[in-house]
Amino acid sequence: MDVKKMKDSKIKRKLIKSFKKSGIKNISIKLNENIIFLEGSVDSYEKYVTAGHLAGNYSIIHGVVNNIVYPEKKETERKKGKDKIIASADVVIVGGGITGCSIARELSKYQLKTILIEKDEDVSCGATKANNAMVHSGIGEEPSTLKQKLCVKGHFLFETLSKELNVPYRRCGMLIVITKDSLENLKLPSFLSNLLASYVIPFIILRRGKKIKVPLEKISRKKILEIEPQLTNRTITGISSPTYGVTSPYEFCIALAENAVENGVDLRLNTEVVGIDLEENRIKSVITNEGKINTRWLINASGVNADEIAEMANDRFYTVHPRKGSTLLFDKSDAGFISHNLSFFQFPMKRHTKGGGAMVTTHGNIQWGPTAIEISEKGDLSVSKDEIDGIFDKYSRLLPNFNKKAIIAYFAGIRSPTFTEDFIIEASKKIKGFIHVAGIQSPGIAASPAIAKMVADILKKEGLDLADNPRFNPTRKKHLVIRDLDFDERKKAVAKNPLYGRIICRCEEATEGEIVNAIHSNIPANNIDAIKRRTRAGMGRCQAGFCLPRVAKILSRETGKPIEEILKNSKESQLFIGKSKCLLEEIDGN
């Protein structure tokens, strides 16, 4: 039956049926203008997610608000706002991740007073910093979704954009690898499985590529093993997607924000939205922990918190369900092991994820992952043993000879999908001046340039005057990276500033000069991780064992902050408790 013709009651009936099949009972379903509201309670978080996905499955459904109660559900505590008016702006963007920063940079092309607010100490602190850095071509996305469309459009813009912003980018291409293990879960006779793997699947993928105008090429076993000799000898064939690339997500995000600031955007860190003032169904001001900002246009790019911000604007029609992705990072010494992004084709595919991959970062570290795990807590960045084991198992089958002992770190990020699993980028139908940019998950990085342009178009359509900013400079000033210089350039740099000669981080060869520059840049790095993202100090094989005390002391010296106030990455992440003997003084004092 064509779902589009289904009446609301029919959808409800079908949904109740599928709920039953999944053991989900006593859920009330309300349907209003293609938005489903779910209420009731379930006995596990898994069922909560299943219910949401079942509701979001109908293509006619625009959004799912999942208010079902599950056992570990917690009420979010909100900071108190301040009433004093601290600023006014034409546009306020909420969220300094890749989406918010891309939009900020795009809007800096126009004569607008734009304020970008971010609750954390730095931009790029959420999903962006933990992204696995692939610039997808769109071939892995579900056909005819908004995310696919924007991904295809966005990824073609990366070459130019990366040059303008002076950030690393490599168009290394992607190989989708089909091996004898790709179809193991289907348990088919081997001749049939071979036929599918060798011909049918490549054919389907190639046809998909043609449809979205992304170049693809089938590659024989012989050729694929020639270009990636470390691939398993169980490889049957592969598909090459040459426009796939790799960026450095946090550096890309920081560069966007810096360029936006250079072009007049007002970035306010440590500023968290706690409420929104409306006036006759129009945005009037946004209330933060620092005070109110008057604005008529508010862009919700707050990632994992997008549903809560939408609620504040009285237009919540989606629920974000956090999906964690964990990635393993290996030492640079094995950089040459592979040269392309590699995706291990497995069928049937897990839904709502492309399954990650193996790749080399722009700095030469091999990375495996990420995972995709639904979690109930938006701030849960822990990496579990099962995840580590799972990633090792999966990619060892693709690259059996890889030296897994070279692991130097693992990290997690939280994707922010909604239950319809597509991007939601539109002007609010209820509240004038409120723009939703929600449900941004993979391929959010690849799509970001296109998302930013789409948001600018929406603002224009909604009536905001976008006059060109005559002073807009697309080129972001490059920070000096000493390790990238040749002998003579390096000599010259040190002659100018002796601190460029002193290595602080031995593993990544980050110099004191670069660290000082990061601390005093136009978006000051004022904690250890912020310095790490900008200079790579602490990102190497010893994981800051040697450089942490030195970087902390430099930060303390440059900012005048006492050492015990130096933070790892966020408020309350103090690295030290005080000077030595401080505990003894406490005892003496008593």
Partner 1 sequence: METDVVVIGGGPAGLAAAAIASQQQVDVTIIERGIELGGILPQCIHNGFGNFIFKKMLTGPEYAQHYIDLVKKQKIHIKIDTTVLKITKDKQIFATNSKEGLFKIKSKSIVLAMGCRERTRSQILLPGSRPAGIYTAGTTQRLINIDGIMPGSKIVILGSGDVGLIMARRFILEGAEVEGVYEILPHPGGLTRNIVQCLEDFDIPLNLCHTVTEIHGKKRVTGVTVAEMDSSNFNPKKGTERFVSCNTLILAVGLIPENELSKQINISMDSNTGGPIVDNNMQTSEDGIFACGNVVHVHDLVDDVTIASELAGKSAAEYVKNQIEESPLKPVYPGKNVIYVVPQHIRCDLRSSITLYLRVKNIMKNAEIKVIENNDIVAQKKERIVKPPEMVKIDISSEVANKIKKAVKVNVEGELL
Contact 358, 395 (CB under 8 A): yes
- 222 Cβ contact partners less than 8 Å away, ≥ 6 residues apart: none
Binding track over 496-515 against partner 1, x by CB under 8 A: --xxxxxx--xx-x-xx---
| Span interacting with partner 1, options 87-95, 207-215, 359-367, 535-543, rule CB under 8 A | 535-543
Asked if 574 interacts with partner 1 (CB under 8 A), we say yes
Q: How far is the CB of 565 from partner 1 (least distance, A)?
A: 12
Q: Would the CA dihedral through 490, 495, 496, 500 be positive or negative? A: positive
Active site residue 136: yes
Contact 242, 135 (CB under 8 A): no
Pick 227 or 494: Cβ nearer partner 1:
494
Contact 335, 365 (CB under 8 A): yes
Asked if 336 interacts with partner 1 (CB under 8 A), we say no
Pick 390 or 474: Cβ nearer partner 1:
390
Pick 7 or 385: Cβ nearer partner 1:
385
Pick 107 or 531: Cβ nearer partner 1:
531
Q: How far is the CB of 142 from partner 1 (least distance, A)?
A: 32
Q: Report the C-alpha gap between 115 and 352 in whole angstroms.
A: 33
Secondary structure class of 273 (helix, strand, coil): strand
Asked if 553 interacts with partner 1 (CB under 8 A), we say yes
Pick 467 or 577: Cβ nearer partner 1:
577
Secondary structure class of 535 (helix, strand, coil): helix
DSSP character at residue 518:
H
Among 9, 233, 580, 590, binds partner 1 (CB under 8 A): 580
Asked if 121 interacts with partner 1 (CB under 8 A), we say no
Q: How far is the CB of 44 from partner 1 (least distance, A)?
A: 21
Among 472, 494, 559, 561, binds partner 1 (CB under 8 A): 494
Q: Report the C-alpha gap between 299 and 46 in whole angstroms.
A: 31
Q: Report the C-alpha gap between 136 and 417 in whole angstroms.
A: 17
Asked if 364 interacts with partner 1 (CB under 8 A), we say no
Which contiguous run of DSSP H or E holds residue 9?
A: helix 8-21
Pick 57 or 396: Cβ nearer partner 1:
396
| Span interacting with partner 1, options 132-140, 209-217, 384-392, 430-438, rule CB under 8 A | 384-392
Catalytic residue among 53, 62, 136, 352: 136
Among 469, 490, 521, 558, binds partner 1 (CB under 8 A): 490
Burial group, residue 211, by CB count within 10 angstroms (0-12, 13-18, 19+): exposed
Question: Rg of the Cα trace of the chain?
Answer: 25
Among 20, 23, 495, 565, binds partner 1 (CB under 8 A): 495
Pick 236 or 537: Cβ nearer partner 1:
537
Q: Report the C-alpha gap between 493 and 485 in whole angstroms.
A: 9
Among 407, 456, 458, 466, binds partner 1 (CB under 8 A): 407
What's the token pair of residue 507?
């593993």
Per DSSP bridges, beta strands 366-369 and 357-360 are antiparallel
Asked if 227 interacts with partner 1 (CB under 8 A), we say no
Contact 299, 187 (CB under 8 A): no
Contact 382, 337 (CB under 8 A): no
What are the residue ranges of helices labelled H in 228-364? Answer: 249-262, 306-312
Catalytic sites, residue numbers:
136
What residues line the site for partner 1 (CB under 8 A)?
333, 379-385, 387-388, 405, 407-411, 487, 490-491, 494-495, 498-503, 506-507, 509, 511-512, 541-543, 545-546, 548-549, 552-553, 563-564, 567-584, 586-587
